[in-house]
Structure 1
Amino acid sequence: MSDSTLTPAAQFRATAPGELFPLAPSLWAHTAVPAVSTPALGASCTADVVIVGAGYAGLSTACHLAKNGVNVVVLEAREPGWGGSGRNGGQIIPGLKYDPDELEARFGAEAGRAVAAFAGSTTEHVFRMIDTEKLAVPHVRHGWVQGAHNDAALHTVESRMRQWERRGLKGAQLLDAAQVRNLLGTQAYKGGWLDPRAGGLQPLTYARELARVAMASGARIFGQTPVTGWQREGNAWKVNTALGPHVTARTVIVCTNAYTRELSSKLSSTVITPNSYQLSTAPLTAQQAESVMPGGQVSSDTRNLLLYFRKDHTGRLLMGGRGPFRQPASNNDWAHLERAVVKMFPQLAGIAFDHRWCGHVSVTRDFLPHVHEPEPGLLINIGCMGRGVALETAMGDALARYTLTRDVRALPFPLTRISPIPFHGLQRLYLAAVVSWYRMRDAGLL
């Protein structure tokens, strides 16, 4: 690579899928539509734009560029949706870590309003894509309930809702404990709020359908093709792969997010990539389904180590949350989530759990998405903070518009320098201690 800050990761190997990340099969892998055929790159080729990574951001970018007549090649180390895009909870939630007032304070009034407007609109990108492209994705849009676990959290959620209302949100509801109980079927919360912009979907099917649409629009997607690096050659970039063939393009867009460590040790040190653990129950009976999340909303709460949960299109209850940083060693690594299900929903005592899985989330130091352009024509998008379905779909649109226009106003966030987290190698130890502290503070549910 010509940029010295982006040297290939020392541990990179041309591995078989899953060797570096031996993750358990997910529920989504068992219920998704068949994957489109994305054979490995067999010969060197040229393109206008080469995208590294076929998750939501890469696939959304490819869709928007291809529909504008751009010659796009997507290189994916495994298959579209293999990483976090096919392993998340399938919740389509708007917003960022920061509320609108905080964004305006952080970026300034004008820029902050623009960032907040983008953050509030991210779910629209998903539902619009599903509708306009007629994606065969099981999905619902009945809103997001954020349950407040204590009195302080009640003030937080009310403030959050009022801030969005001042910026035009219609249909939001402040909920008391009884209303939350009626919507979710649990007595775990003192109240909360309902955000009508949100919903849920089958996340791996969504990724595969995005890949199908991108290819139908003219993009070429090559799976099982790990990228090993790139270098400037004249006015173009040469993107090298572990298989030997390369792609030459005037623009490279990197969308590897939490799975960047195999590509660039420098870039991967700008994020922490904890595992988010999830499990699903066996399909609920009709009686159970009437008492557990009967309105079809998705939900996550206000705890420091939040829980997120929903019912899927097969009638299962899904529960997700933090787990060990290491790869799972046994079903015991999901035991805290099994306890949470029964603690929150006593009516499900004794229910069986049929799938357990996890996937990586990319978290930046400032809890904001980062966009870098270390050299002209080399664009990098990284950091999803657990809001990847909506956020990365919308980011794909923005990255495509910036590539087409070179107008920085197309980007929702300013271009920044690549800045590794200090003492990144110790972050896992530090965060493990933080997790233990938060778990003690959140004690009472688990």
Structure 2
Amino acid sequence: MNLLYANDRPGEYPASWYAATATPLAAFPPLQGEAAADVCVVGGGYTGLSAALHLAQRGFSVVLLEAHRMGFGASGRNGGQVGSGQRLEQDDLEQIAGREDARRLWDLGEEAKALVRALIADHAMPVTFHPGIAHACWHEREVAHAEANAEKLARDYGYTGIEVLDRKAIRALIGSEAYKGGDLDRGAGHLHPLNFALGLAAACAGAGVRLHERSAVTRIEDGPQPVVHTDQGHVRARHVILACNGYLGGLEPQVAAKVMPINNFIVATEPLGERAKEILSQPIAVADTKFVVNYWRLSEDNRLLFGGGESYGYRFPDIIKTVSKPMLQVYPQLKGTKITHAWGGTLAITLNRLPCFTRPRPNVLSASGYSGHGLAMATMAGKVMAEAVAGQAERFDLMASLPQPRFPGGAALRWPLLVLAMTWYSMRDRLGR
């Protein structure tokens, strides 16, 4: 199944609240005939657009190919959360990479957040960064863990932006009786994800990047100067950057063996008006501790944007039904509230939840598999790959040195095995274990 087309119409954004409220950006023409560049970037999401922009700013000629529209994939559909650090906590990273490299990974994550904010400011994007992400804990043991993690970050990493919340405080903040406590990270934040992607695309165009939409890549021809083919043309380049994430398909089997696409879903309610203050007393975003994570925030017009729900299969389910169930578990007071938008999208995970940076072929770089922590890190990944193309590969090599196991079962069995694992962990969620 080609996920580029399984759930979406060619060249059209999904019917999301983001697409309905995005600042318009004129379409870019498909690639026609032959082109040449220093670098060909495949994928018009955060990773690819950031790579293209940073390369162009370094003086490289760049062609970027996007199968649909800029920001079409997970970059334009996600929960908009700009989280701290990496997807894994620092305790885990210290065990995997050692204290020194764990520190470098933390610093890279902090720089990623700063990069997002700097890009918004430097390019006058129509994007507002709202500070604050709360993590809501279902169990008392998770509250204790959150407190220990906040203490560790303050003690060992000098990060003092996290406030630990008891049951009373989390209820006052998020208006739900479901949680035992949690924390609030003031250094993280949230934004309109599609407008950020479109802002990056506009910045790329202004920097001289040749952007092509409706230009799905069909194959890459190896050589000293790889050739990237589409149905209507090809690009000859000295370097190729793969920035496809969950939409990679069979383009690069070495990456596909380590990075798995999965779907996720979000709904938007009608504007809540004064009721919005009962849902979130502050303009923050929230994610909880369930294995199948619930995450939410209020839009600028006081809609609840709520993501979550389980679906096993690559075809999108009844999204309203799928997401309304966990939403009403968290906020039963919203029963009967109208859902105005419902959409899904494909992200990518890795087996150990660390992003996959690799050189799958000569003169080809790839970064993907952000495992739900991609807004800041994907943007940073683009900058890091631009550095590597320019001969400064230390940070790319740090990320590429992290262990990245293949999914068991190969292409045929990896999805059924993941379904079994997700079923088990979601059952534990329901049983409260």
| Cα offset, 1:265, TM superposition | 4.3
Two-structure CA RMSD over aligned residues (Å): 2.5
Whether 1:312 aligns to 2:299 is yes
Unaligned runs of 5+ in 2: none
Q: Which residue pairs with 1:324 in the alignment?
A: 311
Whether 1:413 aligns to 2:399 is yes
* Identity score, percent: 30
Distance 1:170-1:14 versus aligned 2 partners, 3 A rule: closer
Q: Which residue pairs with 1:143 in the alignment?
A: 132
Structure 1, 308-317 or 398-407: larger mean CA deviation: 398-407
In structure 1, distance between residues paired with 2:336 and 2:91: 44
Whether 1:399 aligns to 2:385 is yes
| Cα offset, 1:132, TM superposition | 1.7
Q: Which residue pairs with 2:247 in the alignment?
A: 259
Distance 1:291-1:201 versus aligned 2 partners, 3 A rule: same
Could you tell me which amino acid in structure 1 is paired with residue 355 of structure 2? P
| Cα offset, 1:302, TM superposition | 1.1
Superposed counterparts of 1:32-111, under 5 Å: 32-111=22-101
In structure 1, distance between residues paired with 2:5 and 2:335: 42
Name which of 124, 127, 132 aligns with 1:134. Answer: 124
In structure 2, distance between residues paired with 1:240 and 1:178: 58
| Cα offset, 1:340, TM superposition | 2.6
In structure 2, distance between residues paired with 1:13 and 1:324: 15
In structure 2, distance between residues paired with 1:353 and 1:89: 17
Structure 1, 432-441 or 19-28: larger mean CA deviation: 19-28
Distance 1:260-1:76 versus aligned 2 partners, 3 A rule: same
Q: Which residue pairs with 1:241 in the alignment?
A: 230
Could you tell me which amino acid in structure 2 is paired with residue 320 of structure 1? G
In structure 2, distance between residues paired with 1:14 and 1:382: 16
| Cα offset, 1:320, TM superposition | 0.8
SS for the counterpart of 1:179 is helix
| Cα offset, 1:298, TM superposition | 0.5
Name which of 301, 304, 309 aligns with 2:288. Answer: 301
Describe the superposition over 1:246-304 as per-residue Cα deviations: whole angstroms up to 9, x where unpaired: 11110101000110015234432322211111111111122x01211121110101112
Superposed counterparts of 1:259-278, under 5 Å: 259-278=247-266
SS for the counterpart of 2:382 is helix
Q: Which residue pairs with 2:363 in the alignment?
A: 377
| Cα offset, 1:96, TM superposition | 2.4
Distance 1:439-1:418 versus aligned 2 partners, 3 A rule: closer
In structure 2, distance between residues paired with 1:299 and 1:412: 30
Question: Under a length normalisation based on structure 1, what TM-score does the superposition of the two structures give?
Answer: 0.90
| Cα offset, 1:171, TM superposition | 3.0
Could you tell me which amino acid in structure 2 is paired with residue 381 of structure 1? A
Describe the superposition over 1:31-74 as per-residue Cα deviations: whole angstroms up to 9, x where unpaired: 11113321101221111111000110000111111112111110
Distance 1:441-1:247 versus aligned 2 partners, 3 A rule: same
SS for the counterpart of 1:199 is strand
Count of matched residue positions in the alignment of Structure 1 and Structure 2: 430
Whether 1:161 aligns to 2:150 is yes
| Cα offset, 1:416, TM superposition | 7.2
SS for the counterpart of 2:400 is coil
Whether 1:443 aligns to 2:430 is yes
SS for the counterpart of 1:73 is strand
In structure 2, distance between residues paired with 1:241 and 1:330: 31
Unaligned runs of 5+ in 1: 1-10
SS for the counterpart of 1:421 is coil
Could you tell me which amino acid in structure 1 is paired with residue 351 of structure 2? R
